């Protein structure tokens, strides 16, 4: 599927050929276009990486909470067993 380029259509310059000055300006413009598009692509990639890290961090927090709860249950169970053992003597 053809994707239309963003922005105003480029004007075709059939009246006069490009001079050296115009050619260098066009080269600089193209460089800036490429530079900005690369920056925008990198920003989008960093944003995606940040979202991935955030979901991973949330998962780690959930696992930590589960482990703390399990440890608490195990401590209570050990305490009750210890009380039983001490109480029988």
Q: Tell me, yes or no, whether 26 lies in a domain.
A: yes
How many structural domains comprise the chain? 1
CA–CA separation, 11 and 65 (whole Å): 62
Is residue 8 predicted with pLDDT exceeding 70? yes
Q: Tens digits of per-residue pLDDT, 18-73?
A: 678 888 888 999 999 999 999 999 999 999 999 999 999 999 999 999 999 999 99
Query: pTM for this structure?
Result: 0.55
Q: Tell me, yes or no, whether 44 lies in a domain.
A: yes
| Structure token digits, residue 26 | 């066009």
Tokens 């039983």 correspond to: 84
| Structure token digits, residue 77 | 């169970």
Domain holding 53, by residue range, is: 21-89
Q: Which residues contact 22 (CB under 8 A, 6 or more apart)?
A: none
Higher pLDDT, 55 or 11: 55
Q: Tell me, yes or no, whether 14 lies in a domain.
A: no
């Amino acid at each position: 599927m053809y994707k239309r380029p963003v922005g105003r259509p480029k004007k075709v310059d059939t009246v006069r050929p490009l001079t050296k000055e115009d050619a260098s300006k066009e080269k600089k413009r193209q460089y800036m276009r490429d530079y900005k598009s690369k920056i925008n692509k990198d920003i989008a990639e960093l944003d995606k990486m940040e979202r991935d890290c955030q979901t991973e961090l949330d998962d780690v927090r959930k696992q930590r909470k589960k482990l703390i709860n399990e440890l608490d249950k195990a401590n209570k169970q050990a305490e009750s067993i210890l009380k039983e053992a001490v109480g029988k003597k």
